[in-house]
Amino acid sequence: MARIVDVAALAGVSTATVSRVLNGKSVREDLEAAVRRAIDELGYSPNRTARSLRRQHSEVIALVLPDIENPFFTSLARGVQDVAQEAGLSVVLCNTDEDPEKQEQYLRVAEDENMAGVILAPAGPSELLQRLIERHRSVVIVDRAVDDGIDQVTFDNVELGLRATRALVERGYRRIACVTGPHTTPTAVARAEGWRQALAEADLPAPEESLVFANFRVDGGEAAMRDLLAGPKPPDAVLATNNLVGVGALRVLSATSHRDVGLGIIGDLPFVTSRVDDVSLLQLRPREMGLTAARMLVERIRGESGPARRVVQPTQPVSLGATRD
């Protein structure tokens, strides 16, 4: 079995230089190329257990998400995986089902297994986050902002709700309802607040019965849309504040006589059941969020210090019918 000294000898460099290359640290390009050629020629595989002991953490990160069946989070996970693989890190994918207890369980595992870091879309507040940071584990929050001094990549969710509703107002709709996620989900509440602000600036009413808190899944969108259409004063347009709620709303509209009801959706549609040519879509690009979060995490793992950083993903223009299969 090849050793690090063998790699150094073949590459004509010191073992310290080989170590720097293996740990992703800055090395002259020609020296790094020589080390990589020697590693390939010798078939050298670093002793990961020994490296973990020296670093006091493993080469594994946890990606903790609330719903991995939602294509938004699937796309986000792809971005994380792409960066992690390039950095020599493995990713453990954890699904909380929006359950804070499951979240705490996964965070305890990350702590107990000395994982290098965690990327988390919170299902609720957690005291374990600060404990991980105190133990020099790297943490990045995605999608849902937290108050703690932790790196995070989020959207301006009020702005998303505001811009998506404005697009419906500009198209001439006046009785605009909103279907959003649970009361306990910050993104759901913030996007509904943007809906309220857009209606207020257009001097349009926002009665409480026009705001429905559902789950952030297809069945939640379907149930909410049926209830709204069955009311005494059905809306002439509806804002769905995430992609799966939007799919549920589309299914109901395509199966009823209310095909003239306008629809705005925040999020990228993963699949549809009817035409979307006249649907106002505000796409989010979750893969970019995953790429950004993973790069921030890798920087912290490699020793980046300094105050907590917050990156707000730019809001995209509203478009009509832009989707993917």
pLDDT per residue over 291-300, tens digit each? Answer: 999 999 999 9
Mean pLDDT within 98-123: 92
Mean pLDDT, all residues of the chain: 88
pLDDT band, residue 2 (cuts 50/70/90): confident
Cα–Cα dist 264/252, whole Å? 14
Is residue 182 over pLDDT 50? yes
Sign (positive or negative) of CA dihedral 165, 186, 103, 93: positive
Tokens 């890190």, residue located? 89
Contact (CB, 8 A) for 64 and 107: yes
Contact by Cβ (8 Å): 154, 313: yes
Percent of the chain with pLDDT over 90: 63
Least confident of 70-74, 101-105, 182-186, 188-192: 182-186
Mean of the pLDDT values across residues 32-48? 83
Mean predicted confidence (pLDDT) in 265-291? 84
Nearest Cα neighbor of 318 from 278, 274, 272 is 278
- Residue 145 and residue 175 in contact, taking contact as beta carbons nearer than 8 Å: no
Q: Which CATH class is domain 56-155+286-314?
A: alpha beta
Residue ranges covered by each domain of the chain: 4-46, 56-155+286-314, 157-282
Q: In which band, very low, low, confident or very high, does the pLDDT at 284 lie, cut at 50, 70 and 90?
A: very high
Q: Half-sphere exposure of 137 toward its Cβ, with a 13 Å CA cutoff?
A: 27
Range with the poorest average pLDDT among 90-94, 108-112, 257-261, 311-315: 257-261
Beta bridge partners of 89: none
Map residue 199 onto helix, strand or coil. Answer: helix
**pLDDT tens digits, 44-98:** 876 554 444 344 456 899 999 999 999 999 999 999 999 999 998 999 999 999 8
Q: What is the pTM of this model?
A: 0.78
**Alpha-carbon 111 to chain mean position:** 22
* Architecture of domain 157-282 in this structure: 3-Layer(aba) Sandwich (3.40)
Q: What is the pLDDT of residue 50?
A: 47
- Model pLDDT, residue 262: 94
Stretch 98-104: mean pLDDT:
93
Task: Give CA–CA dist 161/183, Å, rounded.
Answer: 15
Which of 126, 162, 131 is CA-nearest to residue 147?
126
The answer to whether domain 56-155+286-314 and domain 157-282 are alike in fold is yes
Describe the chain by its helix, strand, coil percentages, rounded to 5.
45, 15, 40
Residue type, 313: Q
Q: What is the architecture, at CATH level 2, of domain 4-46?
A: Orthogonal Bundle (1.10)
Each residue of 135-163: pLDDT tens digit?
A: 888 999 999 888 778 999 999 999 999 99
